[in-house]
């Protein structure tokens, strides 16, 4: 493949490597390491670099989304091994930082739509910088007085938003952990003795239900918690990716017939690929009938709760016993900011407490119910609540709602455009969330009649999808993910995620359509019959 | 108790609340919310606040360690509930931030010795600010090219440091998670089918061994992983807190006799309270004899590996199958930075992989062995490696060694002073790590002969310890933790932790001794017989 304007040529690489070496040389020859007091000036220096290079503001769209290098090439550009013996100068540290920035992905770029997260909310980033600087843990009021009350406020707010009554909650290092918290709590509620005896001697193995479109963290959790993948049932979904409640009920009956114990149903608000919302009311009806714990993985879709227009997507979610929501996804709180909610107050503590007396001394001089650390499976716990709290304080409910509505509007508009524009096809006819799934069929791949769209033709389209992405990455023009949905018999399609930050516009949506079309057309096989796209085809 | 100079009087509180209200009023009356572009200026503003208030530098010792308020009082000073509707001005955000800072604990203060962590390394903080701004996840090379190779470099370096050969590893959200990773991997290696079947149908329940001085995360992990607390054996320790290898062997034999299966021994490098190091060679010998996985929780003590003088404490650690080390403890990498190492390369992936095809597409255009996310139980994973990597790049092995040696030297000097100074008693005769455990017996509590140190007298000393702490907290003069060691029949004593940041000196050590003595003397019961200390006495 020909070098593009963003791809460094070999001589560029050499120059870079030389620069790097000069940096290292400087550290021993002229730049002196800083004194303990002066060391702190590095923050000012790097702050300036972040500003100048457009990382702290909306200017990043003038830069490539990524300057891609293959791993082996990147290793030539940055000296990764940790083999330095002596301290280096501030100038050298700055040079290293600049190199790392140069080859990192700009997730805050207007044309980054590759993950369920993208750019950060500036107030969220402010919150995270403060907590990093204050460097404390969330386990006791003693070392985190403000942050304890801030986490309480976030939990309290989320309980109200999701109609979880007088429940409880905790901030977790990600949705996978939140989902495990749910399973652990449900298991304890179902068989309280399990904390003491483990699951080895249970009369009936415990069984978890989730949909085939649900997130893989349920699988990992089932393994970790000793439940075993044989005891995980994947319930069928409809064509939009929503769990079919009747199928759930059939699955529960089959498990009961087999002598095992259904104890946990995971429903999803916003599936990872198609952005589907299960019908929480119907699923809650089934769970109620059989006395099974209902958890909703709303890591992605929970953000809709902030919008009066879109929160009906979450209708019935308040009937669940527990819930996970990640403000670090489309809402733009910096990674990690993940909320776990549970309806039964006290259960988290009862279930998880180990009563370490070196940390949770019973004779403290303040009300130790504010020491919330024993609710957690972690000991030290990063302060994650402050980011979201500060976002809320700065924007208010109106401000956050506007961000969410804008993301929905842009995604909806994009979906509409894709339905109209020649060569584009959406995976779903209807818009359902800010994940938009589609293909682009270049003119040179278009056929006259549907019956010419053979299995081979589809395989080619799947390959072209990956090829378009590859070319966009290498040029740094856009990052849009592609995914297959194998259990539905579908190969690669684009899954473009529209997030709240950086604020999407119709123009940034239009850009992606145009860019994909442009790149797709370029991939036209050459006259001599040799395809210009990769060997995957 | 009388108000101290740091304790806000009621009128101060009112003034504060008014200030806060003015801030809120301003947001609606005069300060306009910022435009999307201008929002980013909040970072510059808050950066200045952090500099001015001494959070980014060694100046914090001129401020109180904490301005303590009881939870209910703090709620009057800061409006925690999230009930704002409209966006506010930058000035209001700044005011909120200033309030939060004012009532947060300064862990970076010279007189903060309350936890196993304290202030941050400025280069570590630089790294964390950058990763927060770049906001990406550690799961694929695609969205974290630089950070993938940086995590690899950190793992590689740690494998060499701890003599873990060609092993593997991952960065975790804390040591509790690392310890769970170890148990999950060991369980999978012992009974590979466990991933599929769970632990419900195992012929023999699996049993974990740890010492009675070890961290409580083992307890929590045993619960979470479905092993059950009945299958956790706490092995006796000697007076210094070190696991007794013969007791371990006896415990293993007893478990074998009971028909259960020993599969995991957790040894500790630097126990949480006394800072004890188990004898890894002797314990490895026992594990080898019975074919049991040896894990070392070196979350605290692993930092000694960076010092040629002190790494003999870790002798034999390379014989373990897995290891956890937290550079976020005494070394000063910002929370969270926790390394998990495992000797068998490939096992982490084999054990934890769920092969999500939306993320780990098999037809990517680069070598997908660089997509390390499927080794993890998490999906999205915060970039934690960069902090430590940048610290290493900036300081080199010499610079880090100097920090570690300085912390040891100061702790050792402190221990020596405590042995000599009237009224002070150390819990251990010998210095063993930078946790220093001691009591102060005020002159008014001293007795003439050892036989007068009755059980009641000791109870009083335990209470006085808590009282001294309370008074120091309320004055904001110092934060030093106290802990009991109930399984050794010992009540509260000070556990002072000497960390690398902010750089301790003999003067800062001396200050703590003087301050504890001063406060202890103040607590003398008044002439009328009513003690001035709290009701705990």
CA–CA distance, A425 with A493 (Å, rounded to integer): 10
Whole-number mean pLDDT of chain B? 92
Range 292-311 of B in CB contact (< 8 A) with A: none
Lowest average pLDDT, out of A515-524, A526-535, B79-88, B370-379, goes to A526-535
Specify the pLDDT at position B19.
44
Contact call for B115 and A107, based on CB within 8 A: no
Least Cα distance to A109 among A161, A173, A53, A168 occurs for A53
pLDDT digits (tens, 9 = 90+) for A82-107: 999 999 999 999 999 999 999 999 99
> Does B378 lie at the interface with A, CB-CB under 8 angstroms?
yes
Residue of A nearest to B185 (CA): A224
Give the whole-angstrom CA distance, residue B372 versus residue B21.
Answer: 49
Average pLDDT estimate for B281-286: 98
Residue A12 confidence (pLDDT) above 50: no
**CA B266 centroid distance within chain:** 18
Shortest Cα–Cα distance, A350 to chain B (Å) = 12
pLDDT value at residue A31 = 66
Contact B36 A75 (CB under 8 A): no
Q: b/e map of A173-199 (b: 16 or more CB within 10 Å)?
A: bbbbbbbbbbbbbbbbbbbeebbebbb
Chain B residue closest to A228 (CA)? B198
- Flag whether pLDDT at B526 surpasses 70: yes
- Partners of A486 on chain B (C-beta within 8 Å) are 357
Chain A residue with minimal CA distance to B126? A43
* Partners of A208 in the β-ladder: A232, A264
Mean local confidence (pLDDT), B216-234: 96
Residues of A in contact with B328 (CB under 8 A): 380
- For residues A406-425, give the mean pLDDT: 98
Query: Pick from B114, B198, B484: which is nearest to A228 by CB?
Result: B198
B43, A33: Cβ pair inside 8 Å? no
Complex prediction ipTM: 0.93
Higher local confidence (pLDDT), A281 or A19: A281
| Beta strands across the sheet bearing B435-440 | B112-113, B479-485, B490-497, B435-440, B424-426
* B175 close contact with A: CB closer than 8 A: yes
pLDDT digits (tens, 9 = 90+) for B68-122: 999 999 999 999 999 999 999 999 999 999 999 999 999 999 999 999 999 999 9
Across B205-214, average pLDDT: 97
- Whether B220 contacts chain A with CB within 8 A: yes
Which candidate from B43, B142, B148 shows the least CB-CB separation from A122? Answer: B43
Is the pLDDT at B498 greater than 60? The verdict is yes
Non-local CB neighbours of A168 within 8 Å, separated by 6+ positions: A155, A341, A342, A344, A345, A346, A347, A348, A349, A375
CB of A511 closer than 8 Å to CB of A478? yes
Contacts of A199 in chain B (CB under 8 A): 198-200, 226, 228
Shortest distance, CA A114 to any CA of chain B (angstroms) = 8
> What is the end-to-end Cα distance of chain B in Å, rounded?
15
Give the pLDDT mean for B492-506: 97
Q: Is the pLDDT at A149 greater than 80, yes or no?
A: yes
Q: Is a pLDDT exceeding 80 seen at residue A537?
A: no
A225/B227 Cα distance (integer angstroms) = 9
pLDDT score for B205: 93
Mean per-residue pLDDT, A30-35 = 70
pLDDT tens-place string over residues A230-239: 999 999 999 9
Q: Nearest CA to CA, how far is B13 from chain A (Å)?
A: 16
Percent of all residues in chain A with a pLDDT value above 90, rounded to a whole number:
86
The angle at the Cα of B26, spanning B22 to B31, to the nearest 5 degrees, equals 155
A379/B contact by beta carbon, under 8 A: yes
Nearest CB to A399 within list B87, B173, B176:
B87
Q: How far apart are CA B69 and CA A370, in angstroms?
A: 13
Between CA B437 and CA A326 the distance in angstroms is 41
Taking the CA atoms of B223, B228, B233 and B234 in sequence, report the sign of the dihedral they define.
Answer: positive
CA A112: distance to chain centroid? 13
The reply to whether residue B39 touches residue A123, judged by beta carbons under 8 angstroms, is yes
B330 in contact with A, Cβ within 8 Å:
no
Q: Is the pLDDT assigned to residue A293 strictly greater than 60?
A: yes
Q: Is the pLDDT of residue A41 over 80?
A: yes
**pLDDT greater than 70 at residue B421:** yes
R_g (Cα) of chain B, nearest Å: 26
State how far the alpha carbon of B40 is from the alpha carbons of A118, A129, A337, B24, in Å: 16, 13, 20, 20
Contact between chains at B84 and A396 (C-beta distance less than 8 A): yes
Structure tokens at A529: 């019959």
Determine contact, residues A198/B202, Cβ cutoff 8 Å. no
Q: What are phi and psi of A492, to 5 degrees?
A: -50, 130
**pLDDT mean over A134-152:** 96
Beta sheet of B322-325, edge-to-edge order: B168-172, B338-342, B322-325, B293-297, B261-268, B206-211, B232-235
What is the mean predicted confidence (pLDDT) over A183-211?
93
Is the pLDDT at A26 greater than 80? The verdict is no
Contact residues for A224 (Cβ-Cβ < 8 A; gap 6+):
A180, B180, B184, B224, B225, B377
Write the pLDDT tens digit of every residue in A347-370: 999 999 998 888 888 889 999 999
Find out whether A345 and A167 touch, Cβ atoms under 8 Å. yes
SS3 readout for A376-421: CCCCCCECCHHHHHHHHHHHHHHHHHHHHHHHHHHHHHHHHHHHHC
CA angle, B344 then B347 then B352, to 5°: 150
Query: B347-377 burial, b for 16+ CB within 10 Å, e for fewer?
Result: bbbebbbbebbbbbbebbbbebebbbbbbbb
Peptide bond connecting A242 to the previous residue in cis, omega within 30 degrees of 0: no
User: Which residues of chain B does A484 touch, with a Cβ-Cβ cutoff of 8 Å?
Assistant: 357-358, 361
Q: Which of A143, A225, A534 sits opposite B107 (nearest CB)?
A: A143
* Helices A175-190, B217-224: inter-axial angle, 10-degree rounding: 70
Contacts of B96 (CB under 8 A, 6+ apart): A390, A393, B23, B78
Q: What confidence score (pLDDT) does residue A527 get?
A: 65
Mean pLDDT on B157-170: 98
Q: Which two tokens stand for residue A474?
A: 């290498």
Return d(Cα B490, Cα A478) in angstroms, integer: 63
Interface residue A1 vs chain B (CB under 8 A): no
Share of chain B above pLDDT 70, in %: 92
Average pLDDT on A221-228 reads 96
Cβ-contact A221, A256 below 8 angstroms: no
Question: Which residue of chain B comes nearest to A93, CA vs CA?
Answer: B394
Where are the extended beta strands (E) located within A195-316? 206-211, 232-235, 261-268, 293-297
pLDDT, residue B39, reads 93
Task: Give the model confidence (pLDDT) of A369-394 as tens digits.
Answer: 999 889 999 999 999 999 999 999 99
The per-residue pLDDT for B528 is 56
Which residues belong to CATH 3.40.640.10 in chain A?
137-382
Tens of pLDDT, residue by residue over B382-417, are 999 999 999 999 999 999 999 999 999 999 999 999
Task: Name residues whose C-beta falls within 8 Å of residue A113's C-beta, 6 or more positions apart in sequence.
Answer: A478, A479, A480, A481, A496, A497, A498, A499, A512
Closest Cα in chain B to A173 = B173
Q: Does A259 touch chain B (CB under 8 A)?
A: no
pLDDT of residue B254: 98
Show residues of chain A in contact with B377, CB under 8 Å: 176, 180, 220-221, 224
Average pLDDT over residues B16-44: 62
- B486's tokens: 């109930």
Residues in chain B: 537
What is the Cα–Cα distance from A77 to A100, expressed in whole angstroms?
10
Considering only the top CATH level, what class is A137-382? alpha beta
Find tokens 């660089």 and name the residue: B370
In this complex, which of A198, A201, A378 lies closest to B176 when CB atoms are compared? A378
Q: How far apart are the first and last CA of chain A?
A: 15
Rounded distance between C-alpha atoms, residue A300 and residue B358, angstroms:
15
Q: Does B381 touch chain A (CB under 8 A)?
A: yes
Q: Identify the residue with better confidence: A14 or A330.
A: A330
The predicted pLDDT at position A126 comes to 98
Place of tokens 């990192």: A104
Q: Which of A227, A273, A380 sits opposite B226 (nearest CB)?
A: A227
In this structure, what is the dihedral angle of CA atoms A304, A308, A313, A315, given to the nearest 10 degrees? 120
B148 contact residues in A (CB cutoff 8 A)? 71
> What 3-state DSSP class applies to B205?
coil
Q: Which residue has the higher pLDDT, A58 or B185?
A: B185
In chain A, whose CA is at the least distance from the CA of B375? Answer: A220
Distance in angstroms (rounded) separating the CA atoms of residues B221 and B343 = 21
User: In chain B, whose CA is at the least distance from the CA of A74?
Assistant: B146
Outline which parts of chain B fall under CATH 3.90.1150.170.
54-121+395-523
- pLDDT at site B30: 43
Contact B305, B161 (CB under 8 A): yes
How many other β-carbons are positioned within 10 Å of the β-carbon of residue A16? 17
CATH 3.30.200.20 fits A54-121+395-523, yes or no: no
SS3 A323: strand
CA distance to partner chain B, nearest, from residue A293 (Å): 17
Q: How far is it, in rounded angstroms, from Cα B402 to Cα B184?
A: 36
Q: Does pLDDT of A531 surpass 80? A: no
Contacts of B226 in chain A (CB under 8 A): 187, 194, 198-200, 225-227
Given a contact cutoff of 8 angstroms between Cβ atoms, the answer to whether B297 and B267 are in contact is yes
Contact yes or no for B78 and A142 at CB 8 A: no
Q: B154 in contact with A at a CB cutoff of 8 Å?
A: yes
Residue B537 has pLDDT above 90, yes or no: no
Interface list for B 47-106 with A (CB within 8 A): 47, 50-51, 55-58, 66, 68-71, 74-75, 78, 80-82, 84-88, 92-93, 96-97, 100-101, 103-106
Find the helix packing angle between B245-257 and B280-290, rounded to 10°: 20
Residues of chain A with pLDDT > 70: what percent?
92
Question: Would you say residue A492 has pLDDT above 50?
Answer: yes
B394 to A199: CB separation less than 8 angstroms, yes or no: no
The torsion angle over the Cα atoms of residues B349, B191, B209 and A192, rounded to 10 degrees, is: 100
* Shortest Cα–Cα distance, A403 to chain B (Å): 10
* Cβ A378 vs Cβ A173: under 8 Å: yes
pLDDT at A9: 42
- Model pLDDT, residue A6: 37
User: What is the DSSP pairing of strand B322-325 with strand B338-342?
Assistant: antiparallel
Tokens of B110: 């010279």
State the Cα–Cα distance between residues B390 and A84, nearest whole angstrom. 11
Max intra-chain CA distance, chain A: 83
Q: Do B200 and A199 touch (CB under 8 A)?
A: yes
Q: Is A368 on the interface with B (CB under 8 A)?
A: no
Q: Read off the pLDDT of residues B337-377 as tens digits, 9 standing for 90 and up.
A: 999 999 999 999 999 999 888 888 888 999 999 998 899 99
Of A80, A194, A377, the CB nearest to B220: A377
List the single best residue of A51, A358, A375 to mutate versus B (max B Cβ within 10 A). A358
Q: Report residue A388 as tokens.
A: 């979201």
């Amino acid at each position: 493949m020909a070098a593009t304007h963003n791809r460094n040529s070999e001589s560029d690489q050499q120059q870079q490597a030389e620069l790097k070496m000069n940096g290292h040389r400087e550290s021993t020859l002229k730049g002196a390491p800083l004194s303990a007091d002066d060391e702190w000036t590095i923050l000012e220096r790097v702050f300036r670099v972040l500003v100048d290079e457009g990382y702290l503001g909306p200017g990043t769209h003038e830069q490539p989304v990524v300057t891609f290098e293959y791993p082996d090439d990147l290793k030539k550009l940055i000296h990764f091994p940790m083999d330095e013996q002596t301290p280096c100068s501030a100038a050298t540290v700055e040079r290293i930082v600049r190199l790392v920035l140069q080859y990192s992905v700009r997730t805050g770029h207007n044309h980054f739509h590759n993950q369920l997260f993208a750019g950060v909310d500036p107030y969220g980033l402010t919150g995270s910088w403060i907590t990093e600087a204050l460097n404390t843990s969330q386990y006791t009021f003693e070392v985190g007085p403000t942050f304890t009350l801030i986490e309480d406020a976030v939990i309290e707010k989320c309980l109200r938003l999701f109609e979880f009554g007088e429940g409880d909650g905790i901030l977790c290092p990600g949705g996978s952990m939140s989902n495990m918290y749910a399973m652990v709590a449900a298991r304890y509620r179902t068989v309280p003795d399990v904390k003491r005896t483990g699951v080895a001697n249970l009369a009936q193995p415990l069984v978890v239900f989730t949909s085939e479109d649900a997130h893989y963290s349920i699988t990992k959790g089932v393994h970790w918690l000793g439940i075993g993948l044989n005891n995980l049932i994947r319930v069928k979904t409809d064509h939009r990716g929503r769990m079919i409640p009747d199928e759930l009920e059939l699955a529960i009956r089959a498990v009961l017939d087999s002598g095992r114990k259904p104890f946990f149903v995971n429903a999803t608000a916003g599936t990872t690929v198609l952005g589907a919302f299960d019908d929480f009311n119907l699923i809650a009806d089934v769970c109620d009938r059989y006395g099974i714990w209902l958890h909703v993985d709303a890591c992605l879709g929970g953000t809709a709760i902030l919008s009066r227009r879109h929160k009906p997507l979450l209708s019935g979610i308040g009937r669940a016993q527990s819930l996970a929501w990640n403000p670090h996804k489309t809402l733009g709180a910096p990674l990690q900011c993940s909320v776990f909610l549970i309806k039964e107050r006290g259960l988290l503590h009862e279930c998880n407490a180990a009563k370490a007396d070196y940390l949770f001394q019973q004779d403290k001089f303040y009300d130790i119910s504010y020491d919330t650390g024993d609710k957690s499976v972690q000991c030290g716990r990063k302060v994650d609540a402050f980011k979201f709290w500060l976002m809320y304080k700065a924007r208010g409910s109106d401000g956050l709602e506007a961000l969410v509505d804008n993301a929905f509007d842009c995604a909806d508009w994009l979906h509409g455009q894709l339905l109209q524009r020649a060569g584009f096809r959406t995976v779903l006819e209807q818009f359902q969330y800010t994940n938009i799934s589609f293909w682009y069929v270049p003119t040179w791949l278009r056929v006259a009649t549907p019956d010419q769209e053979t299995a081979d033709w589809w395989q080619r389209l799947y390959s072209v999808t990956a090829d378009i992405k590859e070319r966009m990455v290498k040029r740094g023009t856009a990052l849009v993910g592609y995914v297959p949905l194998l259990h539905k018999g579908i190969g690669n399609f684009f899954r473009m995620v529209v997030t709240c930050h950086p604020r999407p516009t119709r123009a940034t949506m239009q850009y992606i359509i145009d860019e994909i079309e442009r790149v797709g057309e370029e991939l036209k096989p050459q006259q001599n019959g040799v395809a210009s796209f990769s060997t995957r085809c």
